[in-house]
């Protein structure tokens, strides 16, 4: 594993005082300014709203070059993994830092398979939620509840850590499927050890006791690809949340539950749902795509083009390129004709040819195509973010595990610039006006 390399230092002058701060370089040439001594030596801190220019850690898990549209897991290009790797193999790669040998993968898959059931008492929890409960609220609560059933998670030995990794990777899909069944009033369908990870999830989601359910291998492969593409994405909001909570030495279930809550936000994991809602609005209102695009470009309009642009990528999202082809293939193979898909293709074509979007580098992102694929697979809208959480789980685990093994681990505690009142004197209530 590569470590940060010293690259000289930088000179900072602040209020007449000069301080020298080390420069460090990552394995892909990215420079960082180490400001660990800044406050102690100058009394000043940095102010970086949204942490857009702040590196909260060094990590060997995922590499992103937003300018060139590059995404790699542990050094492997995302397009190669999406084509050749399974979700569980990719999970192993992220968590342990290398592609598994055949026997290592067999043991890993077997462990995940054999921990898929949840405690029978936990099934009663679902009865306490109203039918209208969002699956993400159920998922976050149930994941956190796992710590009650596995108190060994409080003891951070290497053996317990690995055991709870198996448990949460396996049980999250069962909890997710059960939350969906609860929302539609159908009986739970338990996991089957003879099925692979993705097939098992699809069976728990869509099978019913009254008849057999046949898994479409094309649908299964498309869903597996979505999970692989979402497995990690560097220090995003939910991953940073997992790391921050984990820095307090909270157990894995609590950390992942916090990550799920962060992912739930519409600016993060809810973006693919927003794409489908936008397409549905265009279809329902019968709006011409050209007119819709004109509304998006109108600065006085509140119309937004969902699924385009990305905080990190200033080029085509590499995941979007893969899913675009997968989307076209899947819908063609399944024989699905969709007005929403036609609208999506027209929007994509219009945006890619329009100087307004080209100048602003607003290319289709992963959410644009993943929403269409999930809809084609029969995944309901309120489960879209849940699918994102299942996919992102191995990345959260990898980042959490890496953080715990980092030398000099400290609890995260950001600073602030205070802008409130200066010292005030308490006034008795009878004297206040």
Enter the tokens of residue 366: 């992963």
175/196 Cα distance (integer angstroms): 17
H/E stretch holding 409 reads none
Active site residue 310: yes
CA nearest 257: which of 400, 408, 87? 400
Q: Which of 310, 317, 349, 355 is catalytic?
A: 310
Give the burial class of 67: count Cβ atoms within 10 A of its Cβ; 0-12 exposed, 13-18 middle, 19 or more buried.
exposed
Catalytic residue flag (residue 281)? no
Name which of 343, 271, 269, 353 is nearest 307 in CA terms: 271
Residue labelled with tokens 């000069």 = 18
Candidates 413, 58, 88; CA nearest to 234 is 58
| H-type alpha helices, 17-157 | 38-42, 78-84, 87-96, 102-113, 120-127, 135-149
- Give, for 271, the enclosing helix (H) or strand (E): helix 271-285
Token pair of 143 as six digits: 């994941």
Q: Is the dihedral of CA 349, 351, 356, 359 positive or negative?
A: negative
Tokens in use for 375? 């809809």
Q: How far apart are CA 173 and CA 120, in angstroms?
A: 16
Q: Please return the burial class of 197, using the count of CB atoms within 10 Å of its CB with bins 0-12, 13-18 and 19+.
A: buried
Instruction: In whole angstroms, give the CA distance from residue 230 to residue 394.
Output: 9
Round to whole Å and give the CA distance between 372 and 199. Answer: 20
Active site residues: 310, 367
């Amino acid at each position: 594993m590569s470590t940060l390399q010293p690259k000289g230092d930088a000179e900072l002058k602040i209020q007449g005082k000069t301080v020298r701060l080390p420069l460090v370089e990552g394995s892909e040439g990215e420079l960082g300014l180490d400001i660990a001594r800044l406050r102690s030596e100058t009394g000043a801190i940095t102010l970086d709203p949204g942490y857009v220019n702040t590196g909260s850690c060094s990590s060997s898990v995922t590499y992103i070059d937003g300018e060139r549209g590059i995404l790699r897991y542990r050094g492997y290009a995302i397009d190669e993994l999406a084509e050749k790797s399974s979700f569980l193999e990719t999970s192993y790669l992220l968590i342990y830092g290398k592609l598994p040998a055949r026997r290592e993968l067999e043991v890993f898959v077997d462990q995940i398979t054999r921990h898929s059931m949840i405690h029978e008492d936990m099934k009663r929890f679902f009865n306490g939620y109203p039918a209208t409960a969002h699956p993400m609220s159920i998922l976050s609560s149930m994941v956190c509840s796992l710590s009650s059933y596995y108190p060994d998670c409080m003891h951070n030995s290497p053996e317990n850590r690995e055991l709870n990794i198996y448990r949460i990777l396996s049980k999250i899909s069962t909890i997710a499927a059960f939350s969906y069944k609860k929302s539609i009033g159908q009986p739970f369908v338990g996991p089957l050890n003879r099925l692979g990870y993705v097939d098992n999830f699809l069976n728990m989601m869509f099978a019913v006791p009254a008849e057999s359910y046949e898994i479409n291998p094309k649908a299964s492969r498309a869903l597996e690809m979505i999970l692989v593409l979402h497995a990690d994405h560097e220090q995003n909001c939910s991953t940073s949340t997992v790391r921050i909570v984990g820095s307090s030495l909270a157990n894995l279930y609590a950390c992942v539950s916090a990550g799920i809550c962060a992912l739930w936000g519409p600016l993060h994991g809810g973006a693919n749902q927003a794409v489908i809602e936008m397409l549905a609005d265009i279809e329902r209102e019968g709006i011409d795509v050209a007119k819709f695009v004109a509304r998006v470009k109108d600065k006085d309009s509140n119309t937004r083009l969902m699924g385009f642009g990305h905080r990190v990528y200033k080029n085509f999202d590499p995941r979007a390129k893969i899913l675009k082809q997968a989307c076209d293939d899947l819908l063609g193979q399944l024989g699905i004709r969709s007005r929403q898909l036609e609208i999506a293709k027209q929007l994509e074509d219009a945006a890619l040819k329009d100087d307004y979007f080209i100048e602003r580098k607003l290319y289709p992102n992963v959410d644009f195509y993943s929403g269409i694929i999930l809809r084609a697979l029969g995944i309901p809208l309120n489960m879209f973010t849940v699918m994102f959480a299942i996919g992102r789980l191995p990345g959260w685990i990898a980042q959490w595990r890496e953080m715990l093994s980092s030398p000099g681990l400290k609890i995260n505690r950001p600073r602030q610039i205070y802008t409130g009142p200066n010292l005030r004197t308490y006034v008795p209530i009878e004297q206040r006006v």
